[in-house]
Structure 1
Amino acid sequence: MSKFDAIRPYYDAEVNEALKSVVNHPMMKALMNFTFPALKDEEWQAQLLRTHSIRDFQCNFIYQAIQQVLKRSSDGITTSGFETLEQNTAYLFISNHRDIILDTSLLNCALFDHGLVMTTSAIGDNLVQKSFLQVLSRMNRNFLVQRSLPPREMLESSKLMSEFIARSLRRENRSVWIAQREGRTKDGNDQTQQGVLKMLAKGSTEDNLMDFFRKIKIVPVSISYEYDPTDVLKMPRLLAEANDEIYIKEKNEDFQTLISGVIGQKKHIHLHIGKQLTTEIDEIEANYDNDNKRIQALAQVLDEAIISGYKLWPTNFIAYDLLHNTDTFSNRYSEDEKQLFERRLEMRIDEDNPVAFQGFLAMYANPVINKMKYAAVV
């Protein structure tokens, strides 16, 4: 057995057998009928059963599914920065995280469109408790982030994951996607957790940690949705935190969030690839004398890069003005756009609950506030 068997995606040799195990599953039928509405079940089933590699599954099925998602629940996606990436080169993409499935799926579609190496991507094991979802995630080259382990086992799991990431990047020439923090951003504040970078550092075999960070080719990624399809689903946690309460998820909450993210309205989406962090790492090494300070500085560099690459939409400016009772950014949106946002707010949030009302606005306004810290918003 491989040391990574508990967390790794399928090997290509395992793909066909796994597909045979789920080809008749009701959720596979729903996914394929959504993706290929004009095909009879026998047609997509036959094509699935002829599939023997992850790449074929991703290109022939998942890529097509994401195109349908974009067609049905968005006004399209734009991209920038991909021209800075080199073909046949593996990168560590560290991204802000808004949607469970789409963040990494959209990145992989864009990488495919640009002829670049697609990623193996982190996903929390809490999101794939259903056997079908675990098969689908492993088929889509996801590796598992093991949650809710005892402290000693969590340390071992963290080291295992860091070794898997390092091997993917350096031995297999496979790009990797991870979020800048554990879990999705709930309040619009995209901040890098130092713990994520410390986890990565466990995979280093270099004496100099910054040499390791150079070699794994860190690239910041910013993904921006005009409308967050799961915005209202994030409110219970925010309310609990505002009241200093422990938030307990409801049964099937993760699955409901996953589905809502896929089918919910997003309007416009933008995906920006930042520049590989090279000179920044050199400067961090020169200016700080220990690894803890260097990791802290690297987290700050990632924050600035991700926030600077974030595309602000009319919804962000509207929320800022409503939250602060100003018209500072009134030239950045139309009256129709403001009315549409206000209707969404009224339909989803009880005006008699000021904490929820303010929290919903802050979720959209915080990207504006954060971007103003690094550059003028023009």
Structure 2
Amino acid sequence: MSPFEDIRPYYDTEVNQAIREIIDHPMLKAMMNYTFPDKNDEYWKDLLLHCHSIRDFQINFIYPGVKRVLESSSNGLSTSGFEKLSKNTSYLFISNHRDIILDTSLLNTCLYEHGLSMTTSAIGDNLVKKQFLRTLARLTRSFIIKRGLPSRELLDSSKLISEYIGKSLLRENRSVWIAQREGRTKDGNDMTHKGVLKMIAMASDQGESLLDYFKKLNVVPVSISYEYDPTDILKMPELLAKARSESYVKGENEDFHTLLSGILGQKNRIHIHIGDLLTGQIAQISKKISGPAKQLKALADLIDDQIVSGYKLWPTKYIAYDLLYQTDEFKDKYSSAEKAYFEARFHKGVDQNDSVAVENFLAMYANPVVNQKKQRFSIV
């Protein structure tokens, strides 16, 4: 039995049986009715019962579903940087993380449309507690990261995840997507947690340096930017608790509610940018910096620079910056109509008498501008 049995996606030989086990599930019916609004149930059920691989499932069901989401809840998806990727090459995509499901779904949609292989993607087990969602995750080539474990079990789990990532990249030539931090970024500050990098490096060979291992993985940062975050108001309770040094406990179905809101809520424009392959720059770090801790920080900073600089600054980001800092520095970046729309949404969703709430909501949108200014990148 595979050591990855508890975390791996389905094998293609298991796909059809897994589909048959959920074929009559009401959530699958809702998904398929949304994806194929003009077809009766017998149409998509027959297609599903003839599906025998993850790729077929992704192309014939998930891909048209994502396209429907884009049509109904966005003003389009734009991309940049995909021309830098090569076919038949596996990449470790380290990405900022704003939406539970869409980040990976949209990346895979773009990879497919550019004739590139889709990824295997990390997902927290807190998001797949319902058996249907776990089955769906495994059908879309997700591997499960266990959360909230005691320290010893966490170490063993991290080693297993690291080995799975290494196997996917180096033995199976399968690209991997993983977020730069545990959980979504809620305050707009996309910063790589060194713990994620440490975990990935656990599968390095004995005596192999951390950076030598990362050089083999074809690390590519990814930036995804939504003009509007459909879960912005939903993120406020946790942000406010943090700002007030209070503990925050999620509601029983909070993750699932956020998941649906992220998929179906209005996002306006979306952009995905593929950063540079970091192999050469990682080699330079190993020559200039000594010591694992300093090298790890330099690698995290390198990834951050790529993600922050590749992040598309929509008018909402500039509007929030000018409102937060009471300036008109970026007034040429947005129209009066765009500002009025943002302010109407802001006033409706946030108590204007709560200065902490006001500041945190605006910072959520403004921080990408702040970070690009800090890193002295050209803002376009």
TM-score range normalised by the length of the shorter chain: over 0.9
Give, in whole Å, the separation in 2 of the partners of 1:205 and 1:172.
Answer: 17
1:195 counterpart letter in structure 2? G
Count, aligned residues: 378
Please say if 1:18 is aligned against 2:29. Answer: no
When the two chains are superposed, the root-mean-square deviation of aligned CA atoms in Å is 0.7
State the match for 2:223 in structure 1. Answer: 222
State the match for 2:365 in structure 1. Answer: 364
Give, in whole Å, the separation in 2 of the partners of 1:195 and 1:127.
Answer: 21
Q: What is the CA deviation profile of residues 110-130 of structure 1, one whole-angstrom value per residue up to 9, with x for unaligned ones?
A: 000011111000000000111
Q: What is the CA deviation profile of residues 296-344 of structure 1, one whole-angstrom value per residue up to 9, with x for unaligned ones?
A: 1000000000000000000000000000111000000000000000011
The aligned runs of 1:8-87 (5 Å cut-off) are 8-87=8-87
State the match for 1:377 in structure 2. Answer: 379
Give, in whole Å, the separation in 2 of the partners of 1:118 and 1:68.
Answer: 19
SS state at 1:340 partner:
helix
Moved more, 263-272 or 344-353: 344-353
State the match for 2:343 in structure 1. Answer: 342
Deviation at 1:209, TM superposition (A): 2.2
SS state at 2:79 partner:
strand
The aligned runs of 1:97-112 (5 Å cut-off) are 97-112=97-112
Give, in whole Å, the separation in 1 of the partners of 2:49 and 2:326.
Answer: 58
Q: What is the CA deviation profile of residues 71-119 of structure 1, one whole-angstrom value per residue up to 9, with x for unaligned ones?
A: 0000000000000000011000000000000000000000000111110
Please say if 1:268 is aligned against 2:269. Answer: yes
The aligned runs of 1:289-368 (5 Å cut-off) are 289-368=290-369
Deviation at 1:269, TM superposition (A): 0.2
1:24 counterpart letter in structure 2? D
Give, in whole Å, the separation in 2 of the partners of 1:217 and 1:203.
Answer: 15
State the match for 1:254 in structure 2. Answer: 255
SS state at 1:223 partner:
strand
Give, in whole Å, the separation in 1 of the partners of 2:77 and 2:379.
Answer: 22
State the match for 2:196 in structure 1. Answer: 196
Deviation at 1:49, TM superposition (A): 0.4
1:355 counterpart letter in structure 2? V
Runs of 4+ aligned residues of structure 1 deviating over 2 Å after TM superposition are none
Deviation at 1:278, TM superposition (A): 1.9
Give, in whole Å, the separation in 2 of the partners of 1:292 and 1:63.
Answer: 41
- The unaligned stretches of length 5 or more in structure 1 are none
SS state at 2:364 partner:
helix
State the match for 1:279 in structure 2. Answer: 280
State the match for 1:137 in structure 2. Answer: 137
Q: TM-score, normalised by structure 1?
A: 0.99
SS state at 1:115 partner:
coil
Give, in whole Å, the separation in 2 of the partners of 1:103 and 1:270.
Answer: 11
Give, in whole Å, the separation in 2 of the partners of 1:188 and 1:210.
Answer: 28
Deviation at 1:377, TM superposition (A): 2.2
SS state at 1:294 partner:
helix
Give, in whole Å, the separation in 2 of the partners of 1:5 and 1:307.
Answer: 36
Q: TM-score, normalised by structure 2?
A: 0.99
Deviation at 1:208, TM superposition (A): 2.6
Give, in whole Å, the separation in 1 of the partners of 2:147 and 2:279.
Answer: 32
SS state at 1:282 partner:
helix
Give, in whole Å, the separation in 2 of the partners of 1:233 and 1:296.
Answer: 32
SS state at 2:221 partner:
strand
Deviation at 1:287, TM superposition (A): 1.2
SS state at 1:174 partner:
coil
State the match for 1:156 in structure 2. Answer: 156
Give, in whole Å, the separation in 2 of the partners of 1:194 and 1:210.
Answer: 13
Give, in whole Å, the separation in 1 of the partners of 2:127 and 2:23.
Answer: 21
Give, in whole Å, the separation in 1 of the partners of 2:196 and 2:148.
Answer: 16
State the match for 2:121 in structure 1. Answer: 121
State the match for 2:236 in structure 1. Answer: 235
Give, in whole Å, the separation in 2 of the partners of 1:85 and 1:242.
Answer: 40
Give, in whole Å, the separation in 2 of the partners of 1:185 and 1:212.
Answer: 27
Q: What is the CA deviation profile of residues 134-159 of structure 1, one whole-angstrom value per residue up to 9, with x for unaligned ones?
A: 00000000001100111100000000
2:84 counterpart letter in structure 1? T
Q: What is the CA deviation profile of residues 190-242 of structure 1, one whole-angstrom value per residue up to 9, with x for unaligned ones?
A: 00000000001101126232221111100000000000111011100010001
Give, in whole Å, the separation in 2 of the partners of 1:347 and 1:43.
Answer: 42
